[in-house]
Chain A
Amino acid sequence: MSGNKIILEVKKLSKVYDKEVLNIEHLSFHKGKIYGIIGPSGAGKSTFLRLVNLLESPTKGYIYFKGEKIFLNDHTAALARRDMTMVFQKPLLFHTSVAENIAYGLKARRFPKEKIKARVEALLEKVGLKEFAGRHAATLSGGEAQRVALARAVAFEPALLLLDEPTANLDPTNVQLIEQLILELNKDTEMTIIIVTHNIFQARRVAREVVFLHEGHIVEAGETKKIFTSPEDPRTKAFVEGRMVY
C-alpha cells in the first residue's frame, strides 16, 4: 500500500461568510485511507468539503491536491476535478435514466462507448440496481437515488471521494449497503475517502482516522480508535459520548 503518500493537504485554510466559519491551521490526508469528519451542526464540515472540491474559494489559505496548489478560478481547477468528486447530502440526479446518470462523468471524460457500457453495468450490479438501468431517475426512492449518486461519483475512479452525510435520512438497510460500498471501494481501488457524518457510530464503523471539528476549528484528529476510546480534549469526549448538545 502506498500508505504514506499525501493526497490532500490544506494550510491556514479559512472561510469567512458573515463571520469566520472555518479556520484550519494544517491538515493532511493520506492516499488510500478513509477519513471521517465529525462535529456538531454548523461546525464547518460541509464548508470544508466545498472548499476542497472547489465549489467555493477560501477566504485565506491553500489547498494542495496531489502535491499541486489548486484554485477555483484557474486551470488547476479542471485538473483537480478530473480526479476528485463529491456526493452531496441530497444528491441531484439528472432528469434522465439511471444508466445515463452513472455514465455522466465517463462521458465528460470521453471514455469510449463500450467501456462506458461495461462500467455502468458493473456499477449497477455493485450497487444492487441491476434492473434499474432504464428507469427514470426521478422515480427512485431516497436510498436508491443515493446509491445511484454514489455509483455516478465513483464511475471514473477518482483518487479522492468526498461524501457529505451520504446516509443521513436513510433507512438502516440502505445505510449498511452504502457503508459496505464505501469500504469495498476503498479496498478495491485505494480510493481516498473523506466522509462527513453526524453519526459517530458511522465514523467508528468506516473511518480509519477521524477529525473532530467544532466551531470551524479542529479540536482533535487522529486514529479513530484513539479518538473514541481516549480523547484528549474534553469537548471531543463529550461529543463521542453523545453528551454534546447540538
Chain B
Amino acid sequence: MSLLEGIIEAFSLILTLDPYLIKIALLSLQVSAVAVLLATLAGVPLGTFLGLKPRERTRFISKLLYTLMGLPPVVAGLVIYLLLSRVGPLGFLGVLYTPTAMVAAQFALAVPIIAALTMIGIRSSGKEVQETARTLGAGRFLTAWTVVRESRFAIFGAIVTGLGRVIAEVGAVMIVGGNIEGHTRVMTTAIVLETAKGHLELAVGLGIVLLFISFIINSLLYNFQGGGKGSVW
C-alpha cells in the first residue's frame, strides 16, 4: 500500500466512523478528561495556595513542580506501575491494566503542570487581588474564589496545557494500561501498535484524529492566553 492510499483509507475510516477507531478515540478522551478533571481539582487549589505565598518561601516546591512538569511519561508510568502492581502498596486495588490505572498515571502527569502554571498565573496579580478583596470585606472563601476568578484565563490555560500533554503521551498509559484491545487501548498506544503491524491506514487515521484534537486544544489555549477573545478558529 502506498502512502497516498494509506491517507485516503485513513480519511475513509474517519468519515465512515469506523467503530474500532471511534472506540479508541473515545476511550482516549474519556481517560484524559477524567484525569485532567481530577488534576484540576488538586492542582488549581495547590497552585493558588502557592501563588499567594511569598516567592522565597516556595522556592523548593516550585523547583520540585517544575521538575515534575518535565517528568518523562514512562517514568510516571513506571512509578504508578510499581504502586499498583500486585506486590505494590496499592496492589490490592487490582486496577493495573484498567482505564483507572491510566487515569492515575495521567493524573500524576497533569497535576504538576496545572499546579505550576496556576501558581505562575496567580503570582502575577494574585496578591493584589487578595488584598483588594480582603479590604472590601470578603471572607476567606470569597477571597479565594475572587483570586481564582481574576486569574481564570491563566488557569484555563493551565488546564488545557495539562490536557494537551496527557492526551498525547504514550509511555505512561502503555505501561499501566497494557494496550489491551477494547479495554485500555487509546489513540497513542494504538498508533504505536498499528504502525508496528503495518496497518498504516489505521495509524494515520488515528494520527489525524489526534492531531485534530490537539489543534482544538491549542486553539483554546491560544485564545485563553489572549485574554479569552476569539473563537477556536
Residues of A bordering B, CB below 8 Å: 53-55, 78, 81-82, 85-86, 88, 91-92, 94-95, 104-105, 108-109, 152-153, 156
In whole Å, how far is B105's beta carbon from the nearest beta carbon of chain A?
Answer: 36
A-B contacts counted at CB < 8 A amount to 47
In whole Å, how far is B53's beta carbon from the nearest beta carbon of chain A?
Answer: 15
CA of A105 to CA of B129, assembled, Å? 14
- Report B-chain residues with C-beta under 8 Å of the C-beta of A85: 135-137
In the complex, are the beta carbons of B135 and A86 less than 8 A apart?
yes
CA of A92 to CA of B133, assembled, Å? 10
Task: Check A95/B136 contact, CB under 8 A, given A55-B131, A108-B142.
Answer: no
- Report A-chain residues with C-beta under 8 Å of the C-beta of B142: 108
Interface status of B139 (Cβ within 8 A of chain A):
yes
Interface status of B12 (Cβ within 8 A of chain A):
no
- Report B-chain residues with C-beta under 8 Å of the C-beta of A95: 149-150
**By DSSP majority rule, is chain B's interface helix, strand, loop, or mixed?**
helix
- Report B-chain residues with C-beta under 8 Å of the C-beta of A55: 131, 134-135
A-B contact pairs, 21 of them (CB 8 A): A55-B134, A55-B135, A81-B134, A81-B137, A86-B135, A88-B128, A88-B131, A88-B132, A92-B128, A94-B132, A95-B149, A95-B150, A104-B133, A104-B136, A105-B138, A108-B136, A108-B137, A108-B139, A152-B136, A153-B136, A156-B137
| Closest residue of B by beta carbon distance from A83 | B137
Extra contacts, 15 of them, besides A85-B135, A85-B136, A108-B138 (Cβ < 8 A), are A54-B134, A55-B135, A81-B134, A82-B137, A85-B137, A92-B129, A94-B129, A94-B150, A95-B149, A95-B150, A104-B136, A105-B138, A108-B142, A152-B136, A153-B135
Q: How many residues of B contact A (CB 8 A)?
A: 16
User: For B131, B133, B135, which residue has the most chain A Cβ atoms within 10 angstroms?
Assistant: B135
Instruction: Name the 8 nearest CB pairs between A and B, nearest first.
Output: A105-B136, A108-B138, A108-B137, A92-B132, A92-B128, A86-B135, A81-B137, A105-B137
Residues of B bordering A, CB below 8 Å: 125, 128-129, 131-139, 142, 146, 149-150
| Closest residue of A by beta carbon distance from B132 | A92
- Report B-chain residues with C-beta under 8 Å of the C-beta of A91: 132
| Closest residue of B by beta carbon distance from A87 | B135
In whole Å, how far is A52's beta carbon from the nearest beta carbon of chain B?
Answer: 11
In whole Å, how far is A48's beta carbon from the nearest beta carbon of chain B?
Answer: 15
In whole Å, how far is A33's beta carbon from the nearest beta carbon of chain B?
Answer: 21
In whole Å, how far is B124's beta carbon from the nearest beta carbon of chain A?
Answer: 12
- Report A-chain residues with C-beta under 8 Å of the C-beta of B136: 85, 104-105, 108, 152-153, 156
